[in-house]
Amino acid sequence: MDQTQSGRSAEDRHVPVLLDTSVQLLAPALQEPGAIHLDATVGMGGHASAVLRAAPGARLVGIDRDPQALVLARERLDRDGVGERATLVHATYDQIPEVLADLGLPGAHGVMMDLGLSSFQIDTTDRGFSYAVDAPLDMRMDPSSDGPTAADLLRDLPEAEIARILRDLGDERFAKRIARRLVEQRQEAPLTRSGQLVELLERAIPAASKASGGHPAKRTFQALRIAVNEELEILASAVESALDCLHLDGRIVVESYHSGEDRLVKTAFTRRTRSSAPPGFPVELEEHKPTFSPLVRGALQADDAERATNSRAASVRLRALTRTRPDQGAH
């Protein structure tokens, strides 16, 4: 069932992770009238609405690659009374420079990136994201794109590449074994539905390992979703663009849910918060000073209370920076 027509509001479908923390970190940079808040993964608008209410003079540029999510975000922002301050754009978040340029904006004062899959996408049963419901093996966050589906990847990729995807993007211990079974299966008939994939995984993964670690299909479905949507490739570019677009004293908050995502964010953030002076250089020149400073120590995690009430909070890692010095990428 198309969730945009199911009668359930965005608030019912998706509880934003670390919402209060995100708002507290971003709001100080958005208090001037006309300040620009860029939510690069606006989803159903939960974080964006809360930020706009905490920064009544700010304007929102909300980006999402999922057109159905943008419909829900618009409904929510209008319902919360902040819709007139919101511009929503259908794009991937590595297109931040183009989106800002198209709107005639030189940069942003706040940036939010809430990565991974939303509850709405999991609940939209005909998209194939969930291993709990039988559906076509699609997994594209933007169903209107002409990119390959999960079924296409499983049909066309070599066995070694399937194994690499499952291992690197899903931390799947039995990646080689599963890849072999998938290739054997497609010689008879390629998999086209999520239910078929779940059945294959049930057979491929040893019974002893199913007793712990959650559903045996969880890691494979995560890996395929990341591969189908090229999430890590897009993220690597998007984080750099997000940092570059921030004005002086601007702030960025990124929430990651997968070790590969968090590694990319941590690497980019570390590079911007370290001096670029050569090792052993006697004096740190102005151009060598870091351009950003951390707002939190390391990565924040959700507390036990939030984990108990919101399943998405279990794996979240939040990192945040503020721009302390302009650089060549800044405006």
Q: Which residues are annotated as a binding site?
A: 45-47, 64, 93, 114, 121
CA angle 56, 62, 63 (to 5 degrees): 170
CA-to-CA distance for 85 and 315, rounded, in angstroms? 32
Task: Answer for the pair 48, 62: CB distance below 8 angstroms, yes or no.
Answer: yes
Comparing CA positions, the residue from 7, 11, 260, 330 lying closest to residue 116 is: 260
**Known binding positions for S-adenosyl-L-methionine:** 45-47, 64, 93, 114, 121
- In this structure, what are the phi and psi dihedrals at residue 326, rounded to the nearest 5 degrees? -70, 155
CA-to-CA distance for 313 and 308, rounded, in angstroms? 9
Task: Answer for the pair 4, 69: CB distance below 8 angstroms, yes or no.
Answer: no
Which DSSP string corresponds to 149-177?
-HHHHHHHS-HHHHHHHHHHHH--TTHHH
- In this structure, what are the phi and psi dihedrals at residue 258, rounded to the nearest 5 degrees? -140, 145
CA-to-CA distance for 217 and 203, rounded, in angstroms? 11
